[in-house]
Structure 1
Amino acid sequence: MSKKKNTTVTKISKAAEPVVVNQIVVKAPTRKVYDVGDWRNALRSADSGRVKSLYDLFEDVLIDGVLADAVSKRIDAVLNSELTFLDKDGKEVEEITTIMDTTDWEELLRQIMNERIYGRSGVEFICTPDSFHVEPIPAKHINLRNKCIVINDSDDKGVPYEGDTSLLILGHERSYGLLLKATPFAIYKRGGFGDWSQWIELFGMPQRIGKYNTYDPESRKLLEQALEQAGSASYVVIPREAEVETKEAGKGSGASYNEFRQACNEEMLITILGQTLTTVQGENGARSLGEVHKEVEEGKNRSDMRFVQRVLNNHVLPLLEARGYPVNGGKFIFPKAAEQLTVADIVQLSDIMPIPQSYLHEKYSIPVPENDEPIARRQLAAFEPVDIDGSNGTATVQNIDGGAVPTNSTQARQRAEASFFRRLRDFFVAAPTMMGANSKLPCPTATLSDDTLDNRLIKRVANGDAAYFDAELFKFISNDLLNAIHKVFKRPLKNADYVYDNLDPAFVTAMEQNLFHFSAAKTLAEVQKLNQLYRKSKSFEEFTAEAQKLCGKFNKVWQRTEYETANLTAEATANYQRLKAKSGKFPYWQYVTAGDEKVREEHKKLDGVTLMHNDPLWDKIYPPNGWKCRCHVVPRMKHEVSKEMVNTSKNIVEEYMGSDEWAKIKATHFDRGGSRTDIFHSNNMYIRKFAQMAAKLMSKVTPADWGLNHSYKQLIRNAKEEVKEYKGTPVDFWNKHKVRGKEGEDVLPVTDYNGRTWQMSKDSFDTHTSNKKKKRGFRTKYLDVIEEVFQNPDEVWLNSDASEPDVKDNYLNQYFYIKYYKGVAIVCVAKLQNDRMNFLSWYELYVSDKRKGLLIYRK
């Protein structure tokens, strides 16, 4: 009791029971097909004091996504703004700061903003000594004419709200908010979509004409029945001797319906937000025009914040003070936001005013170096030239400085002795600060359309949004190359006359992993080259012209070569796997070219070479033997081959291996035989040895660069699905799900979204469900969600796990399946090891570095 007497906040000692909210009879709004006549009738009814029909109509039109998003955008601008309470001495009050950090306070601000959207709003304050709670009052239950809260939405009388210190009611009679003005356009748009769909149904499908014999009426019935069952397109049934002529009143593409839809959207956006370009893109819009529209929207946001601030100070403060909160003499304010400074701005300002280093460390969350700790600086990877097709297809990519990164040089020592601000500028990647608004070039990027990948990529580079990596480009390259090998694995092999079993999933997965690495290296190289072009260009037009040439080489010419090489290599290696499996029936293999004028001279020399299937020479000459090589191997039975054929073939191959032609094949790394499980050799990638340093090169790419929420904590807060905990024992789970593996041991299988089956050994399962080596017994409760994480993940990353004791390299060769549940994220880890599909582990996600590497799947 003494502690209560010493408190500085005097609140009511007994929980206040809700006076109004628990009496209101909440009914579902009327759902029907509305037209503009209904809107006008509802408005007349509201002017007479009966607002139910109008607010039911508002609830129905908010189904429109554009209108709902505009309303949400207007409200969120206030909710996302910084709001604080200062007492009479200008200091924050802890008790008020605490309630302002609750969802109820957010609901209070939302209801205050609803006065502008609906024309009226209200809340009931339900406070206890230990909590702050508000309950919203539906707008259609607020009768401003009679100044009461009606129990049923169709009543005229109810509970008076004047003088009640628990109720906050906002609004003016005959004021129905912004939704009143936007509703007719939502209704017009809904009707326009109906007319558009009808137009498509009538004119989007061809008319069918069926003709029957006049003297055979039975055939007419059968013809009518067949046409009716053949689909919904219109049809005409006429005698064979008759003619039908269709007169078209006019021709059109239905574009007017789309223009009508866009006009309705624009009117709704202008009504709610005052502009359009911050939500939709105009056909002829420009960046400067978009900035003007943004200023208009920000002007409305400032008006909303002033309105909310006045309501809080004039109406909410007295209610809080009556409940014992220490608000006397204080006020709520929206602090004026300071203009955001870029790194370049800070560097320039440092020449004219002192800037504390502590401010910069705090602003960018950069820790202060300790003692002789090395200072981080920008050191980009050295991209080396790659010869794509052996002639003029050379992708020469350099560092961002145009040469090798200096290490033990005068330049390096000068950097080490530079000022703090020089080092700060060096720490950040230079490309973004040299582009877009801060660039030496004017950037009229709106002159480029968004209809092609090349144009979108060029615009992102010019705007500084693709300074190091580009997710869309990676997706295009990897999907194209994956499609090339999947076409092989999902159809019968064209050069075989027999049927084989399905390919080993480990073999296919290894090839896919190689293509992901190749695609990432190519993406880094192309983006790097585009940024170099931008810095060298004297005008935006020059940059655009050169960039389109470069993209044409990377994304068309070379991509086509790489696609065909991937397709042919996959076919050859798949054929190798199948031929090995049938070597008992077909002990000999024969090298065969495509047999046309395109065959290279060096490959013609191998045409007809026939050797035993296990001859070591196949590990060298098995095709493909170059970019776009179409040569293949066919099987031969024992009676089809003579000893003389084999001896002659060996002599041909041994002589060939001493030729200049073979030296060229070795130089391009196409001498690896059919047993390989990769498409592109590491030295044939745009960044040589990329796979060995992939984790390091991709460490700069964040989830935000992939278009994902950067914070996994935010994702689990927003998740709706609850995790299903397993209640049994690990032994029961193992006995229920185990299967016999290929080598005779028991394993736990799990199949992922792509049809790949990973397996966990009994020893590994016991380690992860007990506390023998580490405290992992708690993971047992997640056994029931393992299958769901694999089959329905939110994200799948190809990454490396530096925390594992046996991981000491920079390979991206572990698959991280992540699924977000309410309050927790579950990670399942798998890895291809020695041709085995191993399921390694599962655990709760606690650190962000698991979401690094290559994003190969997202829901």
Structure 2
Amino acid sequence: MAKRNIPKKPNLLEIAVAQVQDKFSSYPSNGLTPQRLAQIFREADAGDVLRQMELFEEMEEKDPHLFSQLQTRKNAVTGLDFEIIPFSDDARDKEIAEFVRQEIEALEDIEDVFMDLLDAIGKGIAFSEIIWDYEDGRVSIADIKRRHQKKFFWDNNDVLKVRTAQFPQGIELPENKFIIHRYKARSGHPSRAGVLRVVAWMYLFKNYDLKDWVSFCEVFGMPLRLGKYNPSASEEDKRALMQALIQIGTDAAGIIPEGTEIDFKESNKATSINVYESLARYCDEQISKAVLGQTLTSDSGGGSYAQSKTHNEVRHDLTVADCKALAATLRRDLVRPLVYFNYGESHRIPYIRFDSEEAGDLTAAADIYAKLIRDIGLKIPTSHLYKKFSIPKPEAGEEVAAPPSPSAPLPLKADPSLLVAHKANDDKLGTQENVDRLVDAAIRQSGRMFADIFAPVLKLLDKTDNLEELKAKLSDEEFVSELYGQMDNAALDDLLQKSLFYADLLGRVKENERSV
């Protein structure tokens, strides 16, 4: 007997509850030196990432340039629309996808959830805890809460654990409870894969540079105050002279003991003014390259339009990669358990897709597809086109948008000769030869069309010489109905539509002849 696929119930408890101490930090960036930075990295390599994560958090807070670059990288994803795509066109798969879509869209702060998970771009890994709800036999998502990276660590066996209030020594992560988003700026352990690990050294050097730059600006342009005292001066006289030098620098006034002297040496530091700015700008450029993959769209400076466009495309490649990585994480850690709890593990999981295609890319792609189909005759599955342009496939009986061309198919349906002309050179559709065939057939048919529609009117014209009387009769609907009494309304409408089509086609031919 086959074993029933009964979905399990989720863990409804909140595991990594946010604690008051989570907001406190040891501020490892205070007095940061190359030796201390290396020590923090060694601790992270051993599995304890607490100080590294606190340092990364401070780096974003202290460096406006680094903060803006990371925000730009994250907002490039959170600002995009997303959709839930069924695993297949099967009705059951569509039902599952619709359920997942409703659950995710019911979260009011879903963009904040995405932003929290994208924190992995800088730190290498990000965690969010799923708060499940169970009611009336249905599992739903009550909330998704961010968990700070410093609550997690890897033990000596490289097993990922989380510290909780009940178990400060750490426990293994429960199944189907956490969304764990990993970002790999480079290959290696997640603790070493974040972008901030790469730019930490540039941050350190920039900090040294800014500290010296501020000190330089404080005394720039001020003359050197040199005090002179007699060899016989006492220690008290020396201290008084030093205090006078300090007061002159801050208060532009001071007193000195008798017998002492102060000289002013003019500053001549013009050649070193730009050294600090150049180093700070260099560090910013390296940070931009690491975060965005380029510099021209993030830093002021020269660069042609073509260079900027190329650099922006590199940045777009990163956005596409971020979208795919985030979508894969959400499908694995959020969508899969949601489907499992409600439908069982045998059902196929829908996909999440972010609309990361640029408008210019889609326009160029549409032109290419049109040429491939129209000029080359390449056969392309419509399913591929729906997926390429993120267009949902219409359901059976669903109203669809279409170009207004009601009269175009009429001649092919009503006139076999046009259909033959169309089929005769099907492999040359769109060529001048086939167009000429269609025009010739239209001209042959137009005479019969116009004769059929105007024959009753011409008979009346033969019987009357008063055109005004004829005009009045043709304005009478009852008279016209009797005039075409042998023809029902459907046949008359069909005849009128065909005549208008042929008239339009003949007009286009005449217009082309005049233009030539």
TM-score range, shorter chain: 0.5 to 0.7
Task: Give the whole-Å Cα distance in 2 for the aligned partners of 1:209 and 1:153.
Answer: 65
| Bigger Rg, which one | 2
Aligned pairs for 1:607-618 within 5 A: none
**Residue 29 of structure 1 aligns to a residue in which SS?**
coil
Matched, 1:132 2:139: no
Whether the aligned pair in 1 keeps the contact of 2:10 and 2:132 (CA below 8 Å) is no
Structure 2 residue ranges without an equivalent (≥5)? 1-5, 183-188, 367-373, 375-516
Query: Alpha carbons of 1:153 and 1:291: their partners in 2 closer, same or farther (altered >3 Å)?
Result: farther
In the alignment, which residue of structure 2 is the partner of 1:792? Answer: none
Query: Alpha carbons of 1:319 and 1:196: their partners in 2 closer, same or farther (altered >3 Å)?
Result: same
Query: Alpha carbons of 1:275 and 1:223: their partners in 2 closer, same or farther (altered >3 Å)?
Result: same
Q: C-alpha deviations, 1:543-578, integer Å up to 9, x for none?
A: xxxxxxxxxxxxxxxxxxxxxxxxxxxxxxxxxxxx
**Residue 17 of structure 1 aligns to a residue in which SS?**
coil
Matched, 1:291 2:287: no
Task: Give the whole-Å Cα distance in 2 for the aligned partners of 1:20 and 1:35.
Answer: 33
Q: C-alpha deviations, 1:27-56, integer Å up to 9, x for none?
A: 512122222222111111111222112112
Query: Alpha carbons of 1:242 and 1:334: their partners in 2 closer, same or farther (altered >3 Å)?
Result: closer
Give me the identity figure in percent. Answer: 21
Aligned pairs for 1:337-348 within 5 A: 337=357, 339=359
In the alignment, which residue of structure 2 is the partner of 1:266? Answer: 285
Structure 1 residue ranges without an equivalent (≥5)? 1-9, 347-352, 354-859
How far did residue 19 of structure 1 move?
2.4
In the alignment, which residue of structure 2 is the partner of 1:332? Answer: 352
Task: Give the whole-Å Cα distance in 2 for the aligned partners of 1:338 and 1:228.
Answer: 61
**Residue 168 of structure 1 aligns to a residue in which SS?**
strand
In the alignment, which residue of structure 1 is the partner of 2:466? Answer: none
Query: Alpha carbons of 1:118 and 1:154: their partners in 2 closer, same or farther (altered >3 Å)?
Result: farther
Task: Give the whole-Å Cα distance in 1 for the aligned partners of 2:338 and 2:200.
Answer: 36
Query: Alpha carbons of 1:233 and 1:67: their partners in 2 closer, same or farther (altered >3 Å)?
Result: farther
Q: C-alpha deviations, 1:518-543, integer Å up to 9, x for none?
A: xxxxxxxxxxxxxxxxxxxxxxxxxx
In the alignment, which residue of structure 2 is the partner of 1:86? Answer: 85
Whether the aligned pair in 1 keeps the contact of 2:180 and 2:329 (CA below 8 Å) is no
Name the aligned partner's letter for residue 168 of structure 1.
I
1:195 to 204, 212, 220: 212
Task: Give the whole-Å Cα distance in 2 for the aligned partners of 1:299 and 1:207.
Answer: 54
1:105 to 110, 117, 121: 110
Task: Give the whole-Å Cα distance in 2 for the aligned partners of 1:267 and 1:111.
Answer: 25
Matched, 1:29 2:25: yes
Task: Give the whole-Å Cα distance in 2 for the aligned partners of 1:253 and 1:33.
Answer: 26
Task: Give the whole-Å Cα distance in 2 for the aligned partners of 1:84 and 1:279.
Answer: 30
Name the aligned partner's letter for residue 186 of structure 1.
Y
2:327 to 303, 309, 316: 309
Whether the aligned pair in 1 keeps the contact of 2:180 and 2:333 (CA below 8 Å) is no
**Residue 332 of structure 1 aligns to a residue in which SS?**
strand
Query: Alpha carbons of 1:151 and 1:296: their partners in 2 closer, same or farther (altered >3 Å)?
Result: same
1:252 to 254, 271, 281: 271
Query: Alpha carbons of 1:338 and 1:146: their partners in 2 closer, same or farther (altered >3 Å)?
Result: closer
2:37 to 36, 39, 44: 39
Whether the aligned pair in 2 keeps the contact of 1:209 and 1:236 (CA below 8 Å) is no
Aligned pairs for 1:169-208 within 5 A: 169-171=180-182, 172-208=189-225
More relative contact order, 1 or 2 (CA 8 Å, 6+ apart)? 2
**Residue 302 of structure 1 aligns to a residue in which SS?**
helix
How far did residue 169 of structure 1 move?
2.9
How far did residue 232 of structure 1 move?
2.2
Task: Give the whole-Å Cα distance in 1 for the aligned partners of 2:166 and 2:56.
Answer: 15
1:151 to 157, 161, 164: 164
Query: Alpha carbons of 1:303 and 1:118: their partners in 2 closer, same or farther (altered >3 Å)?
Result: same
Aligned-residue RMSD, C-alpha: 4.5
Task: Give the whole-Å Cα distance in 2 for the aligned partners of 1:220 and 1:49.
Answer: 56
In the alignment, which residue of structure 2 is the partner of 1:160? Answer: 172
Task: Give the whole-Å Cα distance in 2 for the aligned partners of 1:168 and 1:122.
Answer: 6
How far did residue 122 of structure 1 move?
1.6
Query: Alpha carbons of 1:335 and 1:238: their partners in 2 closer, same or farther (altered >3 Å)?
Result: same
Q: C-alpha deviations, 1:380-413, integer Å up to 9, x for none?
A: xxxxxxxxxxxxxxxxxxxxxxxxxxxxxxxxxx
**Residue 34 of structure 1 aligns to a residue in which SS?**
coil
How far did residue 322 of structure 1 move?
3.2
Whether the aligned pair in 2 keeps the contact of 1:211 and 1:239 (CA below 8 Å) is no
Task: Give the whole-Å Cα distance in 1 for the aligned partners of 2:257 and 2:304.
Answer: 57
Query: Alpha carbons of 1:291 and 1:29: their partners in 2 closer, same or farther (altered >3 Å)?
Result: same
Looking at secondary structure, tell me which structure has more helix per residue: 2
TM-score (norm. length: structure 2): 0.55
Query: Alpha carbons of 1:16 and 1:224: their partners in 2 closer, same or farther (altered >3 Å)?
Result: closer
TM-score (norm. length: structure 1): 0.34
Whether the aligned pair in 2 keeps the contact of 1:117 and 1:179 (CA below 8 Å) is yes
